[in-house]
């Protein structure tokens, strides 16, 4: 049986995930409160990215879908609306699975706590869209890290460095980052939230490699103010793990060409994870930095989402399926980010909330 999927939000990620669901044969409805956004998806974004519009996709406003049930709901609206939209779905339609695009939310611990409480009362499985955890190069990195005899982990770093140029190229209908939430950290934009794949990968690799959770963070953040608000342009984090290991994460909005990589350094070598436009990669390097072996994973941009969406369908088909992108993983990213903002303000190390 094909899953019936409702994608809420007709912007960039809504088009990517709607296209990915159609590639996997799912029935897709894209929903948006703005009729002009639906028309832009049909006439501009989708055909420019994927060649032509898919007439099998239904476009609708929320009023036109009132009371209609879906198996899977994907929330691809601006981050400041994620939790409000997802809570409404939990309380009214109760789909089998909800996928909330990253970041989970805007930086509000009160709203996050309220959503966790709502999700715990619901039978709906909630996932957060950190698709990098489910890509082939990530799986291979984990395989190597847990099977090669590399010795003790000595260092861990993760970076997502990409200027506005790269982001606006992907959002070609926008003239400026200020045309959306991107230039407003309080709305879920800025480097630390928009590029939170780096922090997410750090947390994932730290867990897989037995280092535990982040207990404390020092946030060195460069802020940019403009007439309408402000955003973090460059965020460098020093993260202390339960094991005692101290690692680093850096995310920025000014580096070009973009650099996206994570490095795990061991006693007997290092593993390097990287992401590119046409190929992802994993490298095994010696202690002196010499390349021992490399694995390339050619791809297109739509391929970036296929592993995540295959996993989403598997969770819908079998609700007992374990998931690396379950709600607690997305919450953990937000808890570190909230502590990092506190650290940036206080100028000192701040504890990270540890949840049961």
Residues of the chain with CATH 3.40.50.720: 4-129
**Cα–Cα distance, 146 to 52 (Å, whole number):** 43
Give the domain 132-299+324-351 fold: Dihydrodipicolinate Reductase; domain 2 (3.30.360)
How high is the pLDDT of residue 170? Answer: 86
DSSP 322: -
How high is the pLDDT of residue 67? Answer: 86
Q: Which residues of the chain, if any, have pLDDT below 70?
A: none
DSSP 302: G
How high is the pLDDT of residue 356? Answer: 82
Distances (CA, A) of 236 to 194, 231, 281, 344: 14, 14, 24, 10
Structure tokens at 168: 């606006």
* Domain 4-129 architecture: 3-Layer(aba) Sandwich (3.40)
**Cα–Cα distance, 322 to 6 (Å, whole number):** 23
Q: Are 146 and 345 in contact (CB under 8 A)?
A: no
Q: Are 233 and 254 in contact (CB under 8 A)?
A: yes
Exposure pattern of 230-259 as b/e (b: 16+ CB <10 Å)?
A: ebbbbbbbbbbbeeebebbbbbbbebeebe
What pLDDT, in 10s, does the model give residues 237-264?
999 999 999 999 999 999 999 999 999 9
pTM of the model: 0.97
Residues of the chain with CATH 3.30.360.10: 132-299+324-351
């Amino acid at each position: 049986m094909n899953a019936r999927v409702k994608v809420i939000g007709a912007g960039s990620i809504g088009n990517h995930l709607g296209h990915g669901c159609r590639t996997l044969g799912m029935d897709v409805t894209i929903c948006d409160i703005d009729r002009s956004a639906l028309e832009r998806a049909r006439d501009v974004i989708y055909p420019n990215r994927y060649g032509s519009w898919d007439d099998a996709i239904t476009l609708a406003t929320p009023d036109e879908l009132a009371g209609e049930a879906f198996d899977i709901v994907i929330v691809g609206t601006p981050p400041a609306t994620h939790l409000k939209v997802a809570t409404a779905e939990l309380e009214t339609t109760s789909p089998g699975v909800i996928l909330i695009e990253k970041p989970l939310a805007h930086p509000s611990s009160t709203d996050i706590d309220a959503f966790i409480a709502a999700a715990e009362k619901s039978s709906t499985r909630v996932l957060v869209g950190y698709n990098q955890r489910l890509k082939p190069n990530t799986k291979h990195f984990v395989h190597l890290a847990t099977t090669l005899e590399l010795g003790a982990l000595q260092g861990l770093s993760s970076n997502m460095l990409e200027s506005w140029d790269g982001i606006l190229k992907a959002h070609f209908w926008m003239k400026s980052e200020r045309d959306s939430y991107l230039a407003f950290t309080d709305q879920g934009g800025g480097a630390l939230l928009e590029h939170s794949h780096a922090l997410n990968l750090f947390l994932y690799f730290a867990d897989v490699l037995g280092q535990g959770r982040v207990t404390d963070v020092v946030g060195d953040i460069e802020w940019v103010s403009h007439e309408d608000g402000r955003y973090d342009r460059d965020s460098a984090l020093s993260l202390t793990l339960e094991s005692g290991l101290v690692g680093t994460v850096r995310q920025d909005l000014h580096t070009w060409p973009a650099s996206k990589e994570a490095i795990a350094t061991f006693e007997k070598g290092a593993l390097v994870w990287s992401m590119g436009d046409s190929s992802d990669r994993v490298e095994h390097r010696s202690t002196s930095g010499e390349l021992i072996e490399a694995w390339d994973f050619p791809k297109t941009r739509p391929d970036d989402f296929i592993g995540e969406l295959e996993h989403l369908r598997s969770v819908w088909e079998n609700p007992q399926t374990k998931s690396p992108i379950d709600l607690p993983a997305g919450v953990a990213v937000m808890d570190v980010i909230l502590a990092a903002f506190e650290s940036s303000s206080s100028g000192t190390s701040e504890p990270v909330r540890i949840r049961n």
